[in-house]
Homo-oligomer: A and B are copies of this chain.
Amino acid sequence: MLSSENTGVPARTVERLVLYRRLLNGLTEQGVEFIHSHEIAEKANNSAAQVRRDLMAIGYTGNPARGYAVNDLVRSINGLFEQKRDQKAALVGIGKLGRAILGYFALRQARPRIVAAFDSDPAKGQGEFAGCPCYPVDALTSVIARDGITVGILTVPADFAQPVTDLMLVAGVRGILNFAPTPLKTPAWAVVDNVDIATKLEKVAFFC
């Protein structure tokens, strides 16, 4: 589950690189051409050493006196995701959470693009939402296969998380972002990441 067999870049590092890129965006327009590891660290709430390690992982190399060339660094991080650039995602479960997510990603045109949404409720599984076409779950297999969708976002009730997962994997999905509070049984090649909001909240409460 979520190993780094893929590229050698550790999962934690990938997350931070995405963050760095976000923090650097727009900096050039503000006239900032170069940035030091400790300045990135300051923005990202981590250490300069960690930033340097992370950049090392993608082979990006700075300059001891100037630091990192912002534009170039952003390009370099983008390069990491180049191969996966045109990956498509589907969201299953157009409920309260699903709609919030659909709206968010449609607005930002973030990647991977969500190009289909599914729901078992006939009222929701038609038309479109936030510009994203909606289908009944029965169409899941065929639409995922047809559109070459490789990433799934799971926002169905817990009881349906496993069966929907099974469907998606058969249809061609290889990675799933799971919001249902249920550990999914998947083959080893599948990439799964869980976002368990209730647990996270309880954890925060526990530590304060």
Which A residues lie at the B interface, using CB under 8 A?
Answer: 1-4, 6-7, 11, 14-15, 18-19, 22-23, 43-45, 80-81, 84, 87, 89, 95-97, 99-101, 103-105, 108, 110-112, 150-151, 153, 174-177, 181, 183-185, 190-193, 195-208
Contact = CB atoms under 8 A, between A and B. Distances in A.
Contact of A207 (B6, B23, B104): B6
Contacts of A193: 200, 203-204
A204 B14 CA distance: 10
B201 A153 contact: yes
25 contacts: A2-B203, A2-B207, A4-B207, A6-B207, A14-B202, A14-B203, A43-B183, A44-B183, A89-B205, A96-B103, A97-B100, A104-B197, A104-B198, A105-B201, A108-B198, A110-B202, A111-B202, A150-B208, A151-B204, A174-B208, A175-B208, A177-B197, A177-B200, A193-B203, A195-B200
Contacts of A15: 196, 199-200, 203
Given A19-B196, A96-B99, A81 B202 contact: yes
A204 B176 contact: yes
Contact of A201 (B112, B183, B206): B112
Contacts of A110: 198, 201-202
Nearest to A87: B205
Contact of A205 (B45, B151, B208): B151
B207 A191 contact: yes
A195 B15 CA distance: 12
Given A18-B202, A80-B206, A84-B208, 16 more contacts: A4-B207, A11-B203, A19-B183, A19-B199, A45-B185, A87-B205, A89-B201, A97-B97, A97-B100, A105-B198, A111-B205, A177-B197, A190-B208, A193-B204, A195-B195, A195-B197
